């Protein structure tokens, strides 16, 4: 009966003698032993057999100039990872908005701003300094402080308090051990309030101490419209900022490479300890993957704050940041502002 194309046919293998391979291995071992013996004799009598081999083992001194360059490079790397702007630097330029007189399609948000992320120039603004609750866009500051104070590889032991935080939780378990970088994905993509509280406690020792740190950082960055009463934004009372301050903070945060890498991620698959084994985080920023050049930053919503959105996009050499607060159509507003900016720069 003929074979079917689906029936596996096992090929016959010829038995091969292993004798040549064994002889080759013995020869190599004898050659290596002979070479080592000759090198040992030569070194013992002060006559190196291969001068190049000996000289290669001698460490070469590093010049003062090279050492200075290495230290400068390390310093630049540390600055890029922790403090992207020198202290006292104005994150946004004080000049009047450059494109304010040009026509832009109606923006539904009561407060909004468009900024050139490269220069810090304000391009267009609507009630930029109006103080409003900002929901989970608060987590931008939480992420900045965590990145500046904690090593990404530091392993945290989850405080039991974080499992009882209100509303949106990713499900951290009390006393489980998890690396900082994993919690950062939960904070910025899933927007977990338990992630925010865990990072706050890990950074400053307590929620109260972290809130002081948040407000001190806001003052340091010149965010005069900003005050924090929550590391997550779940509390609206007393937790406020403005479109102007959020754009300035976003410019600062997006200059931190690790922050930028996380917020531009659309979907992250993260390994986890058992019994969880793995988690998949999907970024709540709907512009990622749907708007060309979108690469950040953070969404937010509470009943009081409404829809809050801080977005960033880059095309060619132009990078823009847009903020809309309490917007009935947050993504429509953001698209209109970004399109307006790219069309006129």
Q: Dump strand ranges (E) for the chain.
A: 111-116, 122-126, 132-133, 155-157, 177-179, 240-241, 267-271, 278-282, 294-302, 306-315, 318-325
Question: In the annotation, is 151 catalytic?
Answer: no
What is the rounded distance in angstroms from the CA atom of residue 56 to the CA atom of residue 118? 47
Tell me the sheet residues that pair with 60: none
What is the rounded distance in angstroms from the CA atom of residue 140 to the CA atom of residue 298? 7
CA-wise closest residue to 150 among 195, 118, 120, 105: 195
CA-wise closest residue to 261 among 239, 291, 283: 283
- Whether residue 307 contacts residue 111, with contact meaning beta carbons closer than 8 Å, is answered with no
What is the rounded distance in angstroms from the CA atom of residue 241 to the CA atom of residue 230? 12
- Alpha helices per DSSP H over 130-223: 139-149, 180-185, 193-204, 207-220
Indicate which residue of 126, 136, 230, 319 is catalytic.
Answer: 136
Distance (Å) of CA 157 to CA 10, 60, 198: 55, 45, 9
Residue with tokens 């101490």: 209
Question: In the annotation, is 312 catalytic?
Answer: no
Q: Count CB atoms within 10 A of the CB of residue 108.
A: 15
What is the rounded distance in angstroms from the CA atom of residue 251 to the CA atom of residue 93? 12
Question: In the annotation, is 4 catalytic?
Answer: no
* Phi, psi of 165, deg, nearest 5: -70, 155
301 Cβ contact list (under 8 Å, min separation 6): 135, 136, 307, 308
Indicate which residue of 126, 182, 191, 312 is catalytic.
Answer: 191
Residue with tokens 């929901």: 135
116 Cβ contact list (under 8 Å, min separation 6): 122, 123, 318, 319, 320, 341, 345
Catalytic residues: 136, 139, 191
């Amino acid at each position: 009966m003929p074979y079917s194309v689906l029936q596996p046919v096992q090929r016959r293998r010829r038995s091969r003698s292993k004798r040549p391979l064994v002889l080759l291995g013995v020869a190599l071992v004898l050659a290596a032993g002979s070479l080592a013996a000759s090198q040992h004799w030569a070194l013992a009598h002060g006559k190196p057999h291969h001068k190049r081999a000996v000289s290669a083992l001698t460490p070469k001194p590093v010049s003062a100039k090279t050492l200075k360059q290495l230290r400068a490079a390390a310093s630049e790397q540390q600055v890029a990872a922790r403090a992207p702007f020198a202290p006292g630097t104005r994150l946004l330029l004080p000049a009047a908005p450059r494109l304010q007189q040009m026509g832009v399609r109606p923006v539904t948000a009561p407060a909004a701003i468009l900024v050139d992320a490269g220069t810090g120039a304000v391009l267009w603004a609507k009630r930029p300094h109006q103080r409003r609750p900002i929901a989970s866009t608060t987590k931008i500051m939480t992420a900045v402080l965590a990145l500046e104070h904690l090593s990404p590889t530091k392993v945290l032991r989850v405080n039991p308090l974080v499992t009882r935080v209100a509303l949106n939780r990713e499900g951290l378990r009390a006393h489980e051990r998890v690396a900082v970088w994993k919690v950062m994905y939960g904070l910025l993509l899933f927007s977990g309030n338990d992630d925010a509280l865990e990072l706050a406690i890990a950074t400053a020792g307590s929620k109260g101490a972290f809130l002081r740190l948040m407000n001190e950082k806001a003052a340091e960055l010149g965010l005069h419209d900003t005050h924090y009463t929550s590391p997550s934004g779940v509390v609206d009372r007393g937790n406020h900022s403005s479109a102007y301050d959020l754009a300035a903070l976003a410019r600062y945060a997006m200059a931190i490479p690790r922050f930028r890498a996380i917020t531009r991620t659309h979907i992250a698959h993260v390994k986890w300890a058992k019994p969880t084994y793995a988690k998949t985080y999907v970024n709540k920023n709907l512009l990622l993957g749907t708007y060309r050049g979108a690469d950040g930053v953070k969404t937010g919503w509470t009943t009081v704050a409404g829809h809050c959105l801080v977005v960033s996009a880059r095309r060619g050499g132009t990078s823009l940041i847009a903020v809309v607060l309490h917007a009935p159509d947050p993504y429509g507003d953001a698209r209109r502002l970004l399109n307006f900016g790219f069309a006129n720069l």
